Chains A and B, each alone.
Chain A
């Protein structure tokens, strides 16, 4: 099919989808596929928020609680009438942490997000965007397929093309034009879906706009290409775990479980479909009041409350299932208790100066003027997949991979530091066969055994290893001592020596981003042989270019061996650590042959001293 035909087909599809939502359920009788619209079974329980349950409701709201809520409503009505008064502002915090009465939630949320202000400042904008979307949006198909599965167990969204389904479609389509950098990203249907449970179409649109672009929430950075805010918040989350729950962190690391896997929706949609809906609303109440800090603190609180149970689970899928599915069905704690702990967590994190990863850097903020029309390019019109990844995407992926490998390394360090016996003599690991995960781990261990205080990070030493590095998210290979690798032919050499150290207290990774990195006096001698290949990741800073140059000239190696320190990098914290970047074929095109190495590499061993100072 030629380009024109493809364009025509895409625009036809967009129109077809749009028309169905415009006509709505009443006008589509007999035209809705049965699979899209299952018969309403006779009688189901509908909870107070509108969710339909197959079974008996998990908990009943006690009469006492309802009475309390009625009492609170009276106070809230008064407060809403005097919103701008100082006394209201004083009471707001305490009352919101107690929970906004459900019947008044819509009003309070709109006030907190100042929906009216932005709406009245942009008259007609929503309709304009919706019209543009009908002509131009390239996200219609994706939005359609997500509307078809978002909150289908809720009475508003249960019927295909119901009023609220149509509203959800409209809000997301209009927004995809309003903010052309984000367009539509999966996850946003959850946000808009919740807003629409309480608001009408236009209010929900503006509320969504506030959540994404107001600096208090700044969710824009979560949804754009490369997910930079997600990366930043996950790193911060890991820091918190390392400081406050190191055992749990190691438990996760032991199974290669990266936070991106279990906590993505916490950050992306503020706990929607990850905790029971009643609790989710309570968290949203507070999130709308206090902003980003709440998400970080809630993530911490969930793990804190369930640490014991999670520590008992010895499999990655069991842990993930517990955190994502079990806690959604039944959190195991009353909402009030959880909120109490959330508030404590916020204080605790604040004391440790870990409550906030900081304001969004420029790359997380909208660059284009919101609400201005940008014509999509041909490729996205047709819906073609990009052939190659952009730099941002590559970097996003590299960051996650590095994070995993760093975690694996730290776990290894910990194991070594816990063991009293030093099994290998220092500096004897030269010329190890790095042909599988075993020897790669062996080399790491010997490195760590050399000194528990110097932590040269060889985590990216991946070109010669076949299995472990290729499975940075793999359950076992990075951490198992017993994994039996298969035959391989790739060979690389590695050995480590540490010069006498003047101090034994090496600052470990600190919970704060190191502005000035403390260095110990450790000197690490590293012998590395390999076949250097590709370019370096842009977020790591090469160190000692002069030495590097001398090295490469002396040994006539291609100029692509990269020595890096992570000290200059803002998003990695590892003091006193050399990162040796040994790119594989292409850093981001990993070799995945797990049994053998495709290109054997062996270069005779050389040594060079790198003084970290």
Chain B
């Protein structure tokens, strides 16, 4: 991932004429693995040591610019507790992308992440782009999930994979950009396309350019 792209996520710099695509992205994973923190880092560039626990779900948007396209992510950040699991499909239905998050210092969360991947593969759109994020990579000293193990699992299942740190911002923008790159952006969505909705005139984001 080119480094300049990381910057682009926070201050996108697209030409006014670029194509604007909108994608729904959902974050899933065990409680306290850092889902909300990843979103907060990506959307606002902030990190809170004690991110308020997400009850129900949270919604945020962020726009990134690729070479010829502006991608607007509608991000659904879900609660991790099992009880809220029943509400999750409400959020991932219609999602074109998902980030399944685990905590590299906790083996159980990796197991749960696999369950989420399974559920997405079973229930979500076949063309959904799934990324696996091993979060809290700043705590590598306490690592319980090996990078290679997760990478092998991701390869087997055709997932994007990165180890991230919402705290240090490592790979946070990159994982979103990798997803943006992988999402089909052709108009009308070719065969198998997840069909980004290209925004019509009436639906343009607040400004004429994609920049906020």
Contact = CB atoms under 8 A, between A and B. Distances in A.
Interface in B169-199: 187-189, 192-195, 197-198
A472 B139 contact: no
A269 to B, nearest CB: 8
A385 B85 contact: yes
A553 interface: no
Contacts of A150: 53
A14 interface: no
Given A475-B74, A592-B92, A142 B86 contact: no
A467 interface: yes
Contact of B187 (A317, A397, A400, A486): A486
A128 B188 CA distance: 63
B202 A185 contact: no
A261 B125 contact: no
Size class of B's contact patch?
35 or more
B84 interface: yes
B84 A186 contact: yes
Nearest to B91: A473
Contacts, number: 165
B94 interface: yes
Interface in B13-55: 22, 24, 31-32, 49-53, 55
B200 A264 contact: no
B87 interface: yes
B123 interface: yes
Contacts of A261: 56-57, 59
Nearest to B115: A385
Given A142-B81, A186-B79, A265 B128 contact: no
A516 to B, nearest CB: 33
B130 to A, nearest CB: 12
A390 B85 CA distance: 11
A481 B202 CA distance: 9
Given A471-B93, A482-B203, A486-B188, A186 B74 contact: no
Given A389-B86, A593-B127, A596-B189, A480 B202 contact: yes
Interface residues of A, number: 69
A268 B55 contact: yes
Contact of A186 (B53, B125, B194): B53
Interface string B99-124: 00000000010001001000000011
Given A149-B50, A268-B55, A385-B85, A474 B61 contact: no
A260 B59 CA distance: 12
Given A590-B94, A595-B193, A317 B82 contact: no
A609 interface: no
A474 B74 contact: yes
B55 A265 contact: yes
Contacts of A521: none
Contacts of B24: 471, 474
A186 B189 contact: no
Nearest to A390: B86
- In order of increasing CB-CB distance, the 10 nearest A-B pairs are A595-B195, A393-B86, A486-B189, A482-B200, A595-B189, A471-B94, A470-B94, A592-B125, A145-B32, A152-B50
Interface of A: 35, 38, 142, 145-146, 148-150, 152-153, 185-187, 189, 223, 225-226, 260-261, 264-265, 268-269, 273, 314-317, 320-321, 383, 385-386, 389-390, 393-394, 396-397, 400-401, 466-467, 470-477, 480-487, 588-596, 598
Interface of B: 22, 24, 31-32, 49-53, 55-61, 74, 76, 79, 81-87, 89-96, 108, 112, 115, 123-128, 139, 167, 187-189, 192-195, 197-198, 200-203, 206
21 contacts: A35-B49, A142-B81, A149-B50, A186-B55, A186-B84, A264-B55, A320-B59, A383-B108, A393-B86, A394-B86, A466-B195, A471-B94, A476-B22, A482-B203, A483-B197, A486-B189, A487-B189, A588-B89, A592-B124, A595-B189, A595-B194
Given A317-B61, A594-B96, 13 more contacts: A35-B139, A38-B49, A150-B53, A264-B56, A273-B52, A320-B58, A473-B76, A480-B202, A484-B187, A485-B195, A592-B94, A592-B124, A593-B195
